[in-house]
Structure 1
């Protein structure tokens, strides 16, 4: 079954990774295209899902990098906005485990300036799912416009939200204040254990799931790093173990998990409404696939998701070997291979 299109809305961020310089008093930066929604869109397209990305793309050097990266991944940018404002920049420092800490340069940048007119003519016919999240849902003036777009899309498409809390840029209480509204709009809420700790400090994952179900969302998936994921469908829980990987860094892992989850559901015709008839075993299979995609993303540097096994395209543009997602991985999970 050919999956119907998924439309992703949100930001692109230039991820600048620090590295030692050979010159004294200098810091070298390696810039990669990133941003949670952009990463998810690229991963979906590489997995074989027809994917459209609604973004405000600057004409600066970073905006041109985003456009080239997304188009090379197979993402449809036909309704992306050509923005006059500059791109958003995030400077990342990696710790010894590959976890990244970001500092953002995002004031008055292109990603947050959505107007109602820019989204008014988006045709959602043929779209099974609309996915958004991260800073696009909390940065004004565009956040309210994005929420209105989700409300308009909800009658005909599955709505997926990933809060992706960034406390150094937006205070967690801003996310908390809007989360119940997002749950009322959304069918799927995917977040990390770090997001959970910021949104509901001290709350067990099961309690959080019940709270968000009560607010309206049917499927909650909380990723737990190496421990896998907990999914709750209308209160019925499933746990999926983590997938072994030789971790280079974890940048983009959650975004890739989300893409794997949505791709798997969409490829089986399970997206396109309020998830009516979805079974816990189908959720578990989708989460297993998402964990595989996330593990492969962690096995290379930066937010570079893998290509589906039907593609001969390379995984990255900087020399890492192509990794393949095998069709039977969902039923027979295997350890993620390390980069060669």
Structure 2
């Protein structure tokens, strides 16, 4: 079955990686296109899901980089807004384990300036799922506009949210204050264990799942890096191991996991409603596939999700 369209809404971020310079007292930056929602849209398209990205793309040098990268990945940008504001920049350093540490330059940038008029004309009749999250849901003035768009989309499309908490830019209590409302809207809530620690400190993953189910989320998936993932479908739970890989860095791994999860559900005709027909076995298969997608992303530098052909080659190599 061919997957139906997934519409992704959110930011693009220029990920500038610090590198040694050739001269003393200089710093070299290698810039790659990133941003959680943009990474998810690119990963979906590369996996073969028709992916439309609702973004506000600056016409500066970074905005042109985003557009080129997304179009090359097969993402539909027909509803992207050409924005007058500058692009968002994140300077990224990697620790000894390849984990990314970010510093953001995001004041008054293009990503947060959504208006109701910019989203009013978006046709969702072909969309099975709307995915959003990260800073687009909490940065004003656009956050309220994004929430209203989700509320409009919810009766006809599966809603997927990734909070992707960024405490350097927005205080965790801002996310906490809105999370219950997001769960009312969301059918899928995917977050990392770092997000969990910031959103519900000193709360076990299992207890957190129960809290978010009670607030309305049907499927909760908590990714835990090398420990794999915990998935909870209406309170039924399973654990999925991570796929072993040589880690170059973890940038974009969570976004790729989300894309793999949604792609697999969509390819099996399980998106487009409240996930009432989804069973725990469906979730297990989708999470196993998502773990493969995330592992391949970790095996290369930066937010560079795999293409479907790479997954096919991996399955062939494993004898599947």
Shorter-chain TM-score: what band? over 0.9
Distance 2:136 2:304 in 1: 21
CA shift, 1:22, in A, is 1.3
**Contact 1:210 1:235 (C-alpha < 8 Å) held by counterparts:** yes
- 2:124 matches 1:124: yes
CA shift digits 1:164-202 (9 cap, x unpaired): 000001000000000000000000000000000000111
The answer for unaligned runs of 5 or more in structure 1 is 310-323, 336-340
CA shift, 1:333, in A, is 10
Aligned residue pairs, count: 319
Match of 1:75 in 2: 75
Match of 2:93 in 1: 93
Match of 1:320 in 2: none
CA shift, 1:277, in A, is 1.3
Q: 1:327 to 1:153 in 2, by over 3 A?
A: farther
TM-score by length of 1: 0.92
Match of 1:307 in 2: 307
Match of 1:313 in 2: none
TM-score by length of 2: 0.98
CA shift digits 1:123-147 (9 cap, x unpaired): 0011000000000000000000000
Match of 1:18 in 2: 18
**Contact 1:193 1:223 (C-alpha < 8 Å) held by counterparts:** yes
Match of 1:62 in 2: 62
Match of 2:225 in 1: 225
Match of 1:325 in 2: 311
Distance 1:94 1:260 in 2: 24
The answer for unaligned runs of 5 or more in structure 2 is none
Distance 2:277 2:271 in 1: 11
**Contact 1:128 1:157 (C-alpha < 8 Å) held by counterparts:** yes
Q: 1:137 to 1:334 in 2, by over 3 A?
A: farther
**Contact 1:292 1:333 (C-alpha < 8 Å) held by counterparts:** no
Paired residue secondary structure (2:129): strand
Paired residue secondary structure (1:325): helix
CA shift, 1:42, in A, is 0.1
Match of 1:185 in 2: 185
Distance 1:78 1:119 in 2: 12
CA shift, 1:238, in A, is 1.0
Match of 1:321 in 2: none
CA shift, 1:326, in A, is 2.2
Alpha-carbon RMSD: 1.3
Distance 2:54 2:313 in 1: 29
Distance 1:23 1:135 in 2: 36
CA shift digits 1:187-241 (9 cap, x unpaired): 0000000000000111000000000000001000000101110000000001101
Distance 1:326 1:16 in 2: 31
Structure 1 segments (4+ residues) deviating >4 Å:
332-335
Distance 1:328 1:239 in 2: 22
**Contact 1:243 1:334 (C-alpha < 8 Å) held by counterparts:** no
Distance 2:30 2:225 in 1: 25
Q: 1:267 to 1:4 in 2, by over 3 A?
A: same
Match of 1:160 in 2: 160
CA shift, 1:274, in A, is 0.2
